[in-house]
Amino acid sequence: MKQTKPVEVVLGVTGSIAVYKAAELARLMIKAGWSVHVVMTEAATRFVTPLTFRTLSRNPVGVSALDDPEEWMPGHVSLAERAGIMVVAPCTANVLAKLAHGLADDLLTATALATRAPLLIAPAMNTGMWDHPATQANLATVRARGAGIIEAAAGELACGANGPGRMAEPEAILEAARRMIGHGQHGQS
């Protein structure tokens, strides 16, 4: 029987209340046999600590571009080269704008800019931010460059508003990631 190498995922987590769904997404990816390496923005650590993701992923969690890398290569380059896919979930309007404009001022955005792996983005934000023409233009920009977008769902948001902006459910994100990399139900070709 041919042994397949596990999918190497870089899971980017940004500062949104939807971070709790990212923890479930990491758990589902591990359950599927994928190797998950989490990169968090500083803002994300205000919602959930890196310890949560380190425990779920069984790997160190990157937060700062200035952290000592695990290997001789800078952390963002090492992660970028390791990735079979990069998933940013949740992706705030701020990080979406950075991705659209090639800004790399933290470990997550530097890794996204350096990787050649497929990029999947699961936005999460307030309805007003989601509907704003700048956000829609940023979505169009990253989509035109080949990024996959999991559309934000409509429903009740943490701010009390009701409308689009909710991050997609972890199962839907996992399925979209599988489709992007061409893997079947259990992470195998």
> What separation in angstroms does the CA of 95 have from each of 30, 71, 88, 98, 105?
25, 26, 9, 5, 10
Helix, strand or coil, per DSSP, at residue 157? coil
Query: Is 159 designated active site?
Result: yes
User: What is the signed CA dihedral for 103, 134, 165, 121, rounded to 10 degrees?
Assistant: -40
Distance CA 123, CA 89 (A): 7
**Gap between the Cα atoms of 115 and 90, Å rounded:** 19
The residue annotated as part of the active site, out of 131, 159, 161, 179, is 159
The DSSP bridge partners found for residue 121 are 88, 149
- CA separation, residue 77 to residues 41, 62, 101, 114, 180 (Å): 17, 12, 19, 6, 22
Catalytic residues: 159
